[in-house]
């Protein structure tokens, strides 16, 4: 454990608003990092502990997945973008600015970034998200499947040369569509950012293009791939060193984040369906003591398609 860790995290008890309908998660750990699993505890051994462990200590976040299937080909979410609040005595800019790490001279700086997005998992994964590094909200993606973003060498010709940045955006939508033909795997994400009056500030389409079969897993019939959609919100800190991720108990607060109108498109029934509890296979959060509010879409009529998330990094974890 590092200086600043809080080893007594095991005393943490789920809050009444930690999630609904599951208010009693199964708690695990990876190194010093606590993990709260709200649905399908088996996911810890089969998925989180292995493929997700490098990312668990980089900031509080939660992750919800749909089932791995060939039935879903699109996912949609409307978003209420969060507000960042600095701790007492600090300005808002402090939560985003470069910060020198006195405890580790090798780490030159850290910044914290709110992120909300959808993810597609097949042969590797791709995060399609909105993020804010202090200048405003930007649509982007990162494909860990091939270590590419929208302006990487093989993707530049499919995407805008410059991505929009909006400091007046308060809501947004994202539509992700997956398709495969004989030559190509294609992921298409359409982002809309809106101001407080509901005026559209920008509409951005980003494409991730790979040779057919390079990203998607084969489904039961040709050109009907199997994949898994996921959704997440995170408050990430990352050092300036490549591949070196650190967390910081800076007490900057991310509040008011919401997913609304969460939907999955069933290609078999040709219908949009609410991405409610029954269509969730796995749900968990990392660093739950740093997450005072997490409300995951249940199967009740009033909140079957809405997630609510807030976090305040007060405990420092490092895997």
pLDDT value of residue 53: 52
pLDDT value of residue 97: 65
Q: Is 49 helix (H, G, I), strand (E, B) or coil?
A: helix
Say how many C-beta atoms besides its own lie within 10 A of residue 106's C-beta.
8
As a dihedral over the C-alpha atoms of residue 49, residue 51, residue 56, residue 60, rounded to 10 degrees, the angle is: -110
pLDDT value of residue 313: 81
Asked if residues 217 and 279 have their Cβ atoms less than 8 Å apart, the reply is no
pLDDT value of residue 11: 45
Average pLDDT per consecutive 10 residues, the chain (319 residues; last block may be shorter): 37 48 70 82 70 64 93 97 92 72 55 90 94 94 92 95 96 97 96 98 98 92 93 78 54 92 96 93 87 81 81 73
- Report the C-alpha gap between 118 and 65 in whole angstroms: 10
Any idea what DSSP says for residue 202? E
pLDDT value of residue 240: 45
Query: What's the CATH architecture for 7-311?
Result: Sandwich (2.60)
pLDDT value of residue 15: 46
Asked if residues 57 and 9 have their Cβ atoms less than 8 Å apart, the reply is no
Dump pLDDT digits (tens) for 281-290.
988 888 888 8
Q: What would the two tokens of residue 258 be?
A: 């919401």
Q: If 0-12 CB within 10 Å is exposed, 13-18 middle and 19+ buried, where does residue 246 land? A: buried
Dump pLDDT digits (tens) for 199-216.
999 999 999 999 999 999
Q: Is 95 helix (H, G, I), strand (E, B) or coil?
A: helix
Parse the chain into domains and list their residue ranges. 7-311
pLDDT value of residue 55: 61
Please, what is the end-to-end C-alpha distance for the chain in angstroms? 8
CA 22, 65, 222 angle in degrees (round to 5)? 145
pLDDT value of residue 51: 53
pLDDT value of residue 112: 79
- Report the C-alpha gap between 80 and 308 in whole angstroms: 9
Q: What would the two tokens of residue 227 be?
A: 């994949």
């Amino acid at each position: 454990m590092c200086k600043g860790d809080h080893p007594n995290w095991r005393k943490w008890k789920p809050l009444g608003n930690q999630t609904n309908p599951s208010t009693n998660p199964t708690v695990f750990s990876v190194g010093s990092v606590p993990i709260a699993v709200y649905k399908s505890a088996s996911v810890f051994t089969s998925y989180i502990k292995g493929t997700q462990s490098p990312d668990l200590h980089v900031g509080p976040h939660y992750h919800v997945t749909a089932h791995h299937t060939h039935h879903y080909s699109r996912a949609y979410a409307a978003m209420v973008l969060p507000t960042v609040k600095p701790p007492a005595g600090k300005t808002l800019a402090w939560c985003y600015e470069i910060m020198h790490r006195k405890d580790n001279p090798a780490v030159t700086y850290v910044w914290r970034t709110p992120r909300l997005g959808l993810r597609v998992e097949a042969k590797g994964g791709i995060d399609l998200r909105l993020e804010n590094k202090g200048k405003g909200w930007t649509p982007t993606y990162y494909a860990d499947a091939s270590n590419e973003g929208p302006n990487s060498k093989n993707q530049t010709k499919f995407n805008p040369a410059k991505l929009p940045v909006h400091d007046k955006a308060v809501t947004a939508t994202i539509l992700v569509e997956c398709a495969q033909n004989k030559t190509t795997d294609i992921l298409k994400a359409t982002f809309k950012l809106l101001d407080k009056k509901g005026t559209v500030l920008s509409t951005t389409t980003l494409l991730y293009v790979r040779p057919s079969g390079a990203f998607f897993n084969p489904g039961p019939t040709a050109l009907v791939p199997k994949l898994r959609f996921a959704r997440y919100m995170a408050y990430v800190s990352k050092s300036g060193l490549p591949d070196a991720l650190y967390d910081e108990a800076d007490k900057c607060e991310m509040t008011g984040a919401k997913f609304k109108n969460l939907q999955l498109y069933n290609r078999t029934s040709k219908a949009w369906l609410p991405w409610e509890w029954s269509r969730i296979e796995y749900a968990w959060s990392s660093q739950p003591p740093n997450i005072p509010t997490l409300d995951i879409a249940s199967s009740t009529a009033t909140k079957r398609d809405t997630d609510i998330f807030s976090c305040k990094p007060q405990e420092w974890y490092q895997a």
